[in-house]
Each structure stands twice: as structure tokens, then as C-alpha cells.
A and B are shown apart, each in its own frame.
Chain A
Amino acid sequence: MDLNARYSRQINLPQVGISGQEKLAAARVLVIGVGGLGCAVLPYLAASGIGYIGIIDGDVVSESNLHRQLLYTAEELGQPKVSVAEKKLKALNPSVQISAENAYLTGENAVKTIENYDLIIDGTDAIAARYLINDACVLSGKPFVHASLYRFQVQVSVFNYQNGPTYRCLFPNPSKNAPSCAEAGVLGTSVALAGMLQANEVMKMILGIGEVLSGQLLLKDGLTNTQEIFRFSTNKDIHITTESFKKEHQQVIRKIDFASAKAKKGIFLDVRQKQEKPTINLPNLLQIPVQQLRDEFAQLPRDTSIFIFCQSGKRSEAGYKLLAENDFKNLYCLLENAPELEHLI
């Protein structure tokens, strides 16, 4: 294939040229999540001749994806997204190498995966995943291009670029409950717009042209066509270390059954609201709703075991994580929760 013919329109740009095309061919880019954002970004990355593209996602194609994730068709429902995407991207540009991983990014695989690339694109749709990517990128010294949506509004920024500020500098403590597109709803055009802005940053970073959105949050409103840039700088109080990464992203929740817990020294912690039934009565019981836990650390012992329970096990895990992050040791989630405990006491 004649490279000059295929890429002639971009090579003709004085800011690209043959040397720019060579930079693209030498680049290794990882796209995390092949949903709305990934599907928008990927065809342009592949078509531009980026040499090596990694994709990672553990999801399968479902019907509600099809209005915005245009790499997929109704014939591919139920198939792993990365397999379908790999096939489509190969067809679009056979000279691009694709590495497809049918898995979710986790605290266990994030750093190892990210280390293999020059540049990371965050195409996920959950706040926790965005923090995981941020922290793994900081530990690996890789820049990443972020985009996120709330309905018709789009945020785009580039983090950890040439020692620039990170996602945590912008949002040190965001709500972990910000709604995903599934919950809030989204138009295909909004997410495509966000993806295009991301892909455009990728091009500039690889080619070394223009001004990259580092230390800048671009906020675009698809309904009003207004856009604004907010500037922010590095927060020197934020340090991400292997230790903090482990604590936040590689937590294993220790479980224990009620009989074994009773035999050990410790206290039981009910993290439900006070009025929730059934009421559990135990001699060494503390009752602190999970929402108030952060303000009540002083009530909790640091020298003995804490056995946490709630109604279903969900809030007890949230409480466990919060306490573990705040250096409580000897934590356990009870295998039985209030409805079962009622019959065991």
C-alpha cells in the first residue's frame, strides 16, 4: 500500500508531514472501554495510522448500545465488544496492530496494562473507574485523555501530561454517585462529540502540535453550543503511591460468619438507619448509619475487631472500605446480615 496515498490529506498539512505520519505509526495508544466514547474515538485513531492500539473492555454488545456505539450492529448482540471492535478496526485499516483484551480494568491489572502504552484514553462510564485510571497513569507516568458526560454536557481534559495536574487535582473528592449514561440518558451525538474532542487531543499530543488541554477543563454544552475552559493547577497535597493505590483499588473484603465472629474479641457494627427492621440486639453492638460513619470514627475501636453488617451486605462493604481507607485494622463484613442474624441470636 502506498502510505503517501492513504494518508496524503493529513501528510499535506504542514503541521504533520512525513515525520508526523511516522510519529503516528510509532505511537502506542490504549483505549479503556469500548462503549460510547471508545466507539467514537477508535475509528479515527485507526484510520489515521496510529501503529498500535490496545482496547480493553469486558462487556458484550447489547441492544441499548446500538444507538450510539456504531462499531456494533444488531447481528453482533451478545458478542464481546473488544472482538467485534478489533474486527471492524482491522477492516478499516489493516496496517494497524490491535491488541484486544476481553476484561475490565481492575486494581490488579491496571498498572501492568497501562505500562505498555504511551498514551491512555479514558472511555469508561463510572467515577470509580476514572480514579483507577488516573492513579494507575500517575504510577506509570502516562498521560491520559479524559471525557465524561452528563446528558448534553461534555467535559474533556488531559491529565498527567508532562507532569501536569491529574484528575484528583481537578476533583479531589467527587461524588461516587454521579450517574452514568445508562442512568442519566444520552444522545449518540453528545457522546460522539466528546469522543471526537478526545481523539483530537490524542492527535495533537502524538504530533506535538497545538495546545493540549492539560490543566484545562473544556466544558461543552450540546444544547446551547456554548463552551468554556476552566483552568486548574497541580494540587501539591495529593500524592499517589503504590501503597495508596493498593489501599484504594486492591482491597479484598474479609468476610466472617456470625458464629466465628462471636467467638472472637470485637464489636458488631450495624451500619443501617436506626429505624430499620429487624432490630438487632447484641451486647457489644454499635449502630452508626454508613452515611454518618465518617464523622463517628472516634466511637470505633482501633485495637479490636469490627464485624460490620447491614440489611443486604452492600452498605457493610461500603462501610468496610471507608474504615479501611482510614486505617482501621481487623475489619470484617459479616456473611449474615440483619434478616439472618435475627434468627441466629
Chain B
Amino acid sequence: MLTIHYFGEIAEKTGLTSEKLHSQGQHISTVLAELQKKYALENGEFQVAVNHELIDLSQDLELTETDEIALLSAFAGG
């Protein structure tokens, strides 16, 4: 199972701080497209980390079952 973590405003939109997804040999683009559709997240609204490393989305990473994905967005407050 993949684990997806949400932070900040993204977590407000999903209504969750994390969830688990079934994945079999999926690419990150497929998972993200699914999440964007499910939660109405816009392109460019967040950055993606896989196993705590920010990834370049132009390279469509193939995920493994135990990967942890995090959706990160900029915070403004101070």
C-alpha cells in the first residue's frame, strides 16, 4: 500500500492528513491524476516528495508498494 501524506491547505482540501492507496506498478503521474480529480487539486498548487525527497515530475517515477508520498504547498503565514 502506498501512503500519501497531506499538509497545510492541501490537507484542508482532502479532509485527511494521510491515506493509503493500492498501487501495483503505478507511475506517480497516474496516482497524482487520481488524487487531483478526487480532491479538485490544481496543477502547480503543490510539490511532491517521494520518501522525503522532492521529485521532478517531468520524470515519471515508477512507484513501489511501500513508497511514502507527500504533497507539499507553500505556507504564507508569519
Contacts and interface: CB of A to CB of B under 8 A. Distances in A.
A pairs with B? yes
Interface string A188-199: 000100100000
Interface string A253-275: 00000000000000000000000
Q: Which range holds the interface residue count of chain A? A: 35 or more
Interface in A163-203: 170-171, 173-175, 178-181, 184, 186, 191, 194
Contacts of B75: 148-150, 153-155, 178
A55 interface: no
Give the most central of B44, B52, B78: most A CB within 10 Å: B78
A184 B72 contact: no
A150 B77 contact: yes
A229 B74 contact: no
| Dominant SS among interface residues on chain A | mixed
B33 interface: no
Contacts of B70: 228, 230
B62 to A, nearest CB: 20
B22 to A, nearest CB: 24
A147 B78 contact: yes
Contacts of A123: 78
B7 A125 contact: no
Interface in B1-41: 7-9
Interface string B43-55: 0110101001110
B72 A219 contact: yes
A11 B54 CA distance: 38
Interface of A: 33, 35-37, 122-127, 130, 147-151, 153-155, 170-171, 173-175, 178-181, 184, 186, 191, 194, 217, 219, 228-233
Interface of B: 7-9, 44-45, 47, 49, 52-54, 70, 72-78
Closest 5 CB pairs of A and B: A174-B74, A148-B75, A232-B54, A149-B77, A178-B76
